Amino acid sequence: MAHMEKIKLGISACLLGENVRYNGVHKLSSFLKDALGKHVQYVPVCPEVECGLGVPRESMRLEGNPDSPRLITSHTKQDMTELMLNWARKRLAQLKKEDICGFIFKSDSPSCGIKRVKVYNEKCMPVDAGVGIFAKFFMKHFPFLPVEDEESLHDLGLRKNFIDIKSYVGHDKIHLDNHLFAVLRNFTIERIR
């Protein structure tokens, strides 16, 4: 059988079942790991672990201005923003070399969330208006790469036909970039839960 090159996708590592969350557990998505995973090659990234924070670790949250929030540990109030950004600069250079076609991020995370992440003001009132520190940095540096979070992909259901992603392999890269997540979104599928 001819070798078929798989599409490379970045993904938040906890979605593949890696025990990298602050509390030492994962957020496995079987849909992403097993179903979609047959057709793509994942490049797992956990910003919080890779930037040097251990497992388990203190939980963190976004604080301050929703447009430019800081990444702050929930109890001891240490500011981890620069630690993460310094790591992210190097990691993004590696990801560029990997030639990934998109990224699937974990929703609601102060590091990985791509939309509506809680940001707390000085009165500890959250607004659902932030973007995770790594996700924001990623999107700024790869403005043309499609990004999605697992919630959106799950909500659209499990795609019976997403095997058709294979038919995109071999098309030119820009075509692929533009259409990959459109393909994921548009097929009709059963819901997972």
DSSP-derived letter for residue 1 is -
Q: Is residue 59 a contact partner of residue 22, using CB atoms and an 8 Å limit? A: yes
Q: Scan residues 117-176 and list those touching ligand SF4 (CB under 6 A).
A: none
Q: Indicate the residue among 140 and 175 with the shorter CB distance to ligand SF4.
A: 140
Asked if 11 contacts 102 with a C-beta cutoff of 8 angstroms, the reply is no
15 to 12, 51, 80, 85, 148: CA distances (angstroms):
6, 18, 22, 22, 13
Q: Interface mask (CB under 6 A) for ligand SF4, residues 70-109, using x and -?
A: ------------------------------------x--x
- Please, what is the minimum distance in Å from the beta carbon of residue 15 to ligand SF4? 7
29 binds ligand SF4 (CB under 6 A): no
Residue 48, interface with ligand SF4 (CB under 6 A)?
yes
Dihedral class, residue 3 (left if φ above 0, else alpha if ψ from -120 to 50, else beta): beta
State the residue for tokens 């030639």: 99
Check residue 46 for interaction with ligand SF4 (CB under 6 A). Answer: yes
Total chain residues near ligand SF4 (CB under 6 A): 12
Beta carbon of residue 2, minimum distance to ligand SF4 (angstroms, whole number)? 34
Helix axes 81-98, 133-141, angle to 10 degrees: 40
Minimum CB separation from ligand SF4 for residue 78, in Å? Answer: 16
Binding site for ligand SF4 (CB under 6 A): 12-14, 20-21, 46-48, 106, 109, 111-112
